[in-house]
Amino acid sequence: MNAPFFQFGLFDVDTALIIAFFIGIGFGFFLEQAGFGSGMKLAGQFYFRDLTVFKVMFTAIITAMLGLFWLSWFGFLDLSLVKVLPTYFVPQLVGGLIFGLGFVMGGYCPGTCCVAAVTGKMDGWIHLLGMFAGIFFFGEIYPFIADWYNSTSMGETTLASLFNLPYGVMVFMIVAVALLGFYGAEKLEQNFSK
């Protein structure tokens, strides 16, 4: 058995889209179940009252990372065929700041605002509207910023290649950072929710 399944032709584009649909439904369902359909809960992380988002996201990262590492080691998965988005350092840094600003102001990130919207929350709908307006605005100004958008290209960079460390060592370091982060998050929550 070889993964990524799509890359090895186990199913075609149409089937991939159907599978993506169900994965998307599952993703939305669990986001909602984790309480991520509430802007109040999400915004809580910026006041250090509720760091669930941080914990969930970091848990997802280390679960996926350990899964990919070991599946590759056991020969189920070809990591070279897993898509790595190329890094454009400055544009992505600016993009991240805009993203963060929107998150702090609206209380949602793109995925969670969809969850909030479909569970009937008005602020979710407004956020969704803002997101599409932003996409439209970006599309309109893209020709003027295209050069900058493609600047400071670093190619398909990973942390391991950037620091020239073995993948396994980098995996361990990220696990350690995550666990320390979880511990720190618990402490922050205890102090700030009083």
Partner 1 sequence: MTLNKILVSIAIILGAGAAIIGSPTRNNDDLSQIAKMIETERDHITPIELAVTMKEGKKKIRIIDLRDSVSFYSYHIPGARLMTLDELLNSEVKRNETVVLYSQGGTHASQAWVLLRMKKFDSVFTLLGGLTGWEQEILFPVIRPDASDDERKLLERKKELSIYFEGTPQIISKTPMKKNQPKKIVPLQQPQNNYKEEERLREGC
CA distance 35 to 28: 11
Task: Kindly give the residue spans of alpha helices, DSSP state H, lying in 34-109.
Answer: 39-43, 52-73, 89-106
Window 152 to 171, contacts with partner 1 (CB under 8 A): 166-169, 171
- 21 touches partner 1 (CB under 8 A): no
Q: In whole angstroms, how close is the CB of 121 to partner 1 at the nearest point?
A: 27
Window 41 to 70, contacts with partner 1 (CB under 8 A): 62, 66, 68-70
Do 138 and 68 contact (CB within 8 A), yes or no? Answer: no
CA distance 6 to 17: 11
User: Of residues 46, 48, 54, 172, which one binds partner 1 by CB under 8 A?
Assistant: 172
Residue of 159, 97, 123 lying closest to 43 (CA atoms): 123
- 111 touches partner 1 (CB under 8 A): no
Contacts with partner 1 by CB under 8 A lie at 2, 7-9, 13, 62, 66, 68-70, 72-73, 75, 78-81, 83, 85, 166-169, 171-172, 174-176, 178-179, 182
